[in-house]
Amino acid sequence: MPFLDTSKDLSALFSRQVKATPNAVALEDDKATFTYAELDREVDCLSRRLRTYGVSRDTLVGVLLPRSADYVIACLAALRAGGAFLVLELAYPPELLADVIEDGNPAVVITHRAEVGKIKSKVPLIVLDEPAAHANGHATEPAPLPADDDLDRLAFVSYSSGTTGKPKGIANPHRAPVLSYDLRFGVQDLQPGDRVACNVFFIWEILRPLLRGATVVTVPDDASYDPAALVDLLAARKITETLMTPTLLATVLQRHPHIDERLPELRTLWLNGEVVTTDLARRAIKALPQTRLLNCYSACETHEIACGDIRKIIDEEATYCPVGPPLDPKQIYILDESGQPVDTGVSGELFVAGPLLARGYLNLPETTAKAFTPNRFDTQPGSRLYRTGDLARLLPSGLLEITGRVGSMIKLRGYSVVPAKVESEIVKNLAVGHCAVVAHGDGLERQLVAYIVPDRNAAGRPTVEINEAGYSPAARRTLAQSLAHYMIPALWVELPELPTHDVTGKVDLKRLPPPKTDAHTNGNGKAVDQDPITLDQVAACWAAALKTSKTLLTPTDDFFDLGGHSLSLADLSSRLSRHFGFRVPIARLAETTTLAGHLETVRAIRDGHTAAVQADLPAVLRADATLDDDIRPAQPATICSIDKANTVLLTGVTGFLGAFLLHDLLENTSAQIICLVRFNEPANDDQPGGVARIRRNLLDLGLWRDSVMERVEILPGNLSRTRFGLSTKAFDELAARVQVIVHAAATVNLVYPYAALRGPNVGGTREILRLASKSGATVQYVSTNGVLPASGEKGWPEDTLLDVEDVPTKLLDGYGQTKWVAEQLVLEAGRRGLPVKVHRAGTISGHSATGAANAWDLLSALIVESIKLGYAPEVQGWRAEMTPVDFVSKAIVHLAAQTHAEQTIFHLGDPKPVDTRDVFAALNELGYPTKPLGWDEWVTLWNEKRSNVKGGDGGFTVDILRSGMPTVEFLRDIVVLDNAATRPFRTCVERPKVDKTLLETYTRHWFARGWLSKPPVRQQALNGTAKLAKGPLSGRVAVVTGASSGIGAAVATALAREGCHVALAARRVEALESLQKQLATHGGKIIAKKTDVTNKAQVDALFHDTTQELGPVDILVSCAGVMYFTMMANVQTDEWERTVDVNCKGLLHCLSATVPGMLSRGAGHIVAISSDAGRKVFPGLGVYSASKFFVEATLQSLRLETAGTGLRVTSVQPGNVATDLLGMSTDAEALKKYGEPSGAEVLAPEDIANSIVYALRQPAHVSVNEVLIEPRDEPI
């Protein structure tokens, strides 16, 4: 129910509150206090005066005042006079103030003497701190007051901050704030005694408390952004509610880490104006344990859009907090680039409709028309859409997440950088409380600058050390673990606090000081390395190792001439490695021993390659492919089948294939899985971080289950380090535990040279073999077709090995070269008696059933970009080698379970890759037409049309091609692996065909990820039924009663998504048919049958028709039900009988039509919606509780009587659910006494549906007999 009379304007609502609470304190500033009655008199006096200036409907009254009681009085007076107030900020510079007054053309400006000099125009003034006789202007006959229900007239005009050009006057009618305040009262109500400090968004806040009897406390300008002064004021005035921007809160928490001790009365804190990072939310929750933290998203043009309690909506794994559920979901539209609505979870631009919209921009009809467009999704005349310019997505939970700003990305040397992402990683990984990342410079000298405010109280996060040149090598190394190289700031600036905009309270990027520009140019102004390795840095390490002064060293000094020896050179190697964050080997330092030579050596190691290595690559490869003598088992070991192993070590689990390997190992073995997760400096306390990284990866690929970690251990390690960075003892203990190692980890980069990938790919494999040799563990090594050169039509057989002399000329990328060396090491270990198997994969594509894809797959990017262009590359001989990841993973696990010794190398790539012309032909049939175009022309067209498209979710494929467009030779010369010797060993694992069905799966997934703007056209099978999703419920026939709304509709939707054929049953045919159309897109066949479950003939007809049209019923979900609040003494006979008929007889009718057939087939699952009222009687629900006790008794008896028959019976017992059941009750006394909501967040129908799907998906031997699911805060 509304909290306000939303048919009245702001002035009328204030007057009504004056009558209700005349003696309550309404307004305070640092000089005066007013009760509601006193404030009303002040407002009335000034409003009469305003009317003499001709103030009437839509007339503007300028308000140029400090934030004080006078400001509030002036705004209320303008409204009572029938006009609207025009916000004139004291922070406006003179030119801007003059522009706003000229544009707004107020009839009069209300101000103080101190501000008069700022007004250069001849506009009439009312100077509040002067006698009225001194006011200028000319009195006129007052116009009639407008009606108090005229909500379309203007209430106020506020101007945008002007940060992007000429400011715009945003004109808001009364309707917008009235409805806005009513919505906010639904989130957090106010009452007399509440004290609201009005601070950042002053005009947004000053009127709201005055409509509910609360007290407005104005925060003066000099305290608004001064954390110390602000907290002092909030404490002294015993404030119960206020609002801050996240920037301001971060600054306050920086100064006051124990702020709850200072503000014990603060019950509510609204956050608005910027996204709230998860890190800030965590700190706020800790610092303010008794305060309700509300994350609110709004715009001046729309008022509130969404709001949520941070404690309830925070996602610890996410970077940012969602902004809560939309306050009016029907008015929210998230659209793609073509203006079409996106699916749940997909990012798009946010548009808002509804009655909270502003009229538009004052005197700017063209700008208004561009921002406020006709709402083509609404048939109501005059309905409009406002384009917010924000990127957003609606999460499956129903929460709205703001993901960025349209056009907010920084373009940097061809890359797209989202500043907010970088800022979040800095705060999360470094001892930084708040930061801002901006671009500095132009062209090739353009680079990222991070402005940071240190967090002195950060625990476990390294501080940012910035050198004189403005660089922070240590911070760069830390961020390199989570950010791409181009996203890491080059320059760093430390500030005591970030500057905020005087008007909006947001970070004012224009006031950030410039970085040290001389740090990144030489005397000629030419760009040098962003993170340079200088002679001074190397000299400092020399001085420490030689125990001498740095000032005595010269570039030509020789290390050994200055007293150096082998031990001090080892010390120097260690110091240089620690200082720069990568290994500087002693041998490399011994090659050239001058200070200048060491500088060049360190730079060359950083760059990942040297001329010497590349010049004699065969010799380097030959040396690296030589296995250390000590890596050999004490005696030849026997191969261990993976399904017999107690403990398996898995590497690469945070990668694409590795995630599926973990899934299949958990599904097909009983072993404990130790997952090596990479950390630069591994430590045991990295285990929670390892869990989080695995969880993120599995969630992204649809593989996460809460039970995953029951058999998984996290091993923080680094493959590039000796013993993975573990101690000798820990390494030996690990070797003693492990029987099988699945080594799938590799650094994949087709651009990097050999030396850059040598550490993880070659060194890591060497350490894996070292570990295995200690106890004779079996090594299952995941290799690649990249260890062989391009082949002809007939692929390479399994025994093909390339000679070392051919590697530099036939394997042209460093990745293939390192994998070749690693494979040689594995095979040599096998010759020494270690049980090893090599699995050569091809190009791994998405999952054949879900489409879950590797986000960095080049072939997918080429296909998606071709679809978007409408042109496909025509390259003679270009074949698409696409091997679904689930096939590769299952094949490896299957082969690893065999103990044969005759075959060592297995080929898992596609021996017959499909011609890409066939791929694009199939895509054409799926609704993605393309025309052929020569490769060079295609690249030119792509550069013109697509290369500058923003990255992110919707443009990820652009990022891939922008980082490295392949050559025509790369496309044509693919490696084909013949699998004749492999096939006999993997007979149980069938390779999915690369056909239209698989491509439909992939394109549907690409659409879901936002890579494509529309889903594929669904293909019809020969029998006329649609293709189904694959999964444990795929193809099952389900009947859902009560399916027209609420829980029933949610269950039907969930089952359709799982691939079921669903019969929808309910009395409301139109609702059923509407739902039927929606669910048809999921692939199963959907039928709608009008059914009253109290009519046995209709129920029998439902199941007969379902069997004829869909097949025998596998699943019954009985959702039909009614609930009436009735007092027993009130004898609501009709409602009692209806309850028994629907809830009891309806269930029996369904069981009588279902159970015999299920028993005859020896399978079936019956689910019935009961209630927590079936476990405990609730007053006011006596008959309803009795009906649910009946349901429980019936199901328990059926379950016991049919045990062993294959039938499963599940009772689902929900607590309060957001459905329309409550609206059925007519007993007003019972409703009032027992039906009032408690205020706890209730369940959504989808929550119940998810629990039912969980029960249905269990293996055949598992029965979920009962599910009690309730709101967390309403347990029985």
Q: Which residues, at least 6 apart from 77, have a Cβ–Cβ distance to it below 8 Å?
A: 42, 43, 44, 46, 47, 49, 50, 61, 110
Strand arrangement of the beta sheet that strand 491-494 belongs to: 432-440, 447-454, 491-494
As given in the structure block, the two tokens for residue 583 are 């290994």
> Where is 16: in which H helix or E strand?
helix 10-20
CA 125, CA 137: separation in Å to the nearest integer?
A: 7
Beta-strand relationship, 432-440 and 33-35: unpaired
Residues in Cβ contact with 336 at an 8 Å cutoff, skipping those fewer than 6 apart: 342, 346, 348, 349, 954, 1010, 1013
Contact indicator for 17, 36 with CB cutoff of 8 Å: yes
CB proximity list for 274: less than 8 A, separation 6 or greater: 245, 246, 247, 506, 507
Q: How far is CA 79 from CA 12, 38, 210, 219, in A?
A: 9, 17, 14, 22
Beta bridge partners of 391: 349, 404
**Closest alpha carbon to 37 in 45, 25, 46:** 25
Of 320, 1002, 1184, 1234, which one is the catalytic site residue? 1184
**Separation of alpha carbons 328 and 178, rounded Å:** 15
Inter-CA distances, 847 with 55, 789, 889, 995, 1231, Å: 68, 27, 10, 14, 52
d(CA 739, CA 644): 9
Listed in sequence order, the DSSP H helices in 462-534 are: 473-479
Is 754 tagged catalytic?
no
Those residues whose C-beta lies under 8 Å from the C-beta of residue 665, and which sit 6 or more positions away, are 642, 648, 650, 671, 673, 742, 893
Q: Are 430 and 475 in contact (CB under 8 A)?
A: yes
**What are residue 656's DSSP bridge partners?**
none
Look-up of token digits 């406390």: 217
CB count within 10 Å of CB 685 equals 8
Tokens of 388: 């917010």
Place of tokens 């993605």: 928
* Backbone phi, psi, residue 162, to 5°: 80, 15
Can you give 916-952 as a three-state secondary structure string?
HHHHHHHHHHCCCCCEEEEHHHHHHHHHHHCCCCCCC
Rounded to 5 degrees, φ, ψ at 508 are: -95, 95
SS (H, E, C) 564-628: CCHHHHHHHHHHHHHHHCCCCCHHHHHHCCEHHHHHHHHHHHHHCCCHHHHHCHHHHHHHHCCCC
The residues annotated as belonging to the active site are 1184
